[in-house]
Structure 1
């Protein structure tokens, strides 16, 4: 197939943008909040009085969904709260890839099994949608970042143990890619460390238990690892291009802020990227107010992992300069546990972190941040028994 087009004046052929590839990164970003949970007045209107008039093109999606936010909210409600678990067969592709704290879950049947397990453990579970950040369309695929608060009572067996009877409030962020009524890629991160504490378990004991179980399944354990490539040899981190003067480029702003704060260790750059009255919501019950507390949090992680190298894997957003923006950022990092901190004495172990962060940006500064990362998995990597040590 010819992938170039020739201009009418006979000039050199120009590449034709392929918008049918959901992995190309080329996505339309909504320029306002007309399709959002806030504009809908909350999810109860969608669930009790579902809208009927479509507000965007939804090629291949079931007729009763009017837009992508409506789709995400209502399929979540139907599967989890109405317990129509089999609806997963209609809304997830057979070879769906779901990445969570425990790694890659491949295939639709595994999603069904995991959903049954969780609802069995928390039969009265409720999922409250706080935000759905979205981008894309029904050609390249819809990308959604669904932040939700999960409430339920542990009256059934879970992977963590027998029923405790405790009521938990846990939040999560699920980033999905959907096309023609099916989700085929998902990155979901739960506040599992907070969940385990609310269930009454000792977090480090559970981390060691689960870490040892994971180690037992891996027959190729190897203590060797290379350097975290934040810098190359005796070099220094790369510089990024300056931000444009004529407009606010959300993606460039985010990538630059993350790079200079985390990889350059320029903690003072927080002052340029974040508002003085910042509100921060993080894993394991972290709630911070203001830039000073946020700087201390950044320092605490870098102190524990002195070679920490962070990469922004995906960014999309909605909004405009007048009304502000909301963003979804998926990121990953590697580092070696060589410093003291809340994770205990240094172990020298290489640790992999990944997370999803949503921001609310106004007047060129981040006003509020919701960060979720795989903290319980990090604790497993640190606190598991070392299979190479002998008694």
Structure 2
């Protein structure tokens, strides 16, 4: 498996992914012209010389290095909400006072807001169901943080992820099914298509700025506020292990949570090791000091438009010299030569290294992403 920047020849595969992912996956809609523009924008973004994040959008594809088939996608928007508003509901606790006997009680409200303007957003992560395999989901998710560690000037200090909310197999969202009776009588697929295609004035026209009180919602709608689609749970758990947290902002249409983390505090950003390449001529590396094989790691070159990354046990960081020892065959796959700068992110590290100090949710190490957000 190789991760690389998307190219125009990947349009058909990207369109199939957009169709497969279904309603709610708003970052990739099944419109060939829109997808072609997205690809062109990504190609231009990778090619730019950047000193500060702007309207760049980086879209990667996961390719089977043997067959050339596209297994999935993953993306980064450098500064979301600048050219197109990024709108959420903010969850607020509102204290209501009664005149009688000075009684008071707390209610929760949802208020439309634009909180995350200029933040980097990770998005467009999808692993095709027919191509699930070990470490594919981890590679798609964590390679973006490795890319940020390589090119920090291209990204904001805060990174967010809008997680897909709860919907059923028919594409119905309990949250939207309640909300639409108060804003716009559209089915969920139509609403997400309008929102995802940046339809002029859709949010302002249909979603009022006045607060909605959750106690007025039916139980089904209220129960999914801040919850994620069942296929998105592994992705959420993975991001929480990286240090991401939900701070009370949810999607306007399906109620899915937005997670956030300072870029410098993301575990995979902190744990990415950079070094010059030292070529190893053998097909395999020798065993380590404990007589074991080296653990799997994401290894990548340090290029931008020529970026390549994979999961492998044929590389390891040399602790004494700081060099990255890489087999010659792997170096060829990644476009690396002796002395080139490369980076390495171990997939299995100690909990002390990989986890922030606050309490997090744990999931089995074998759990893999299907599709996420």
Shorter-chain TM-score: what band?
A: under 0.3
The answer to which structure, 1 or 2, has the higher relative contact order (CA under 8 A, 6+ apart) is: 2
- More strand by percentage: 1
| TM-score between both structures, scaled by the size of structure 1 | 0.24
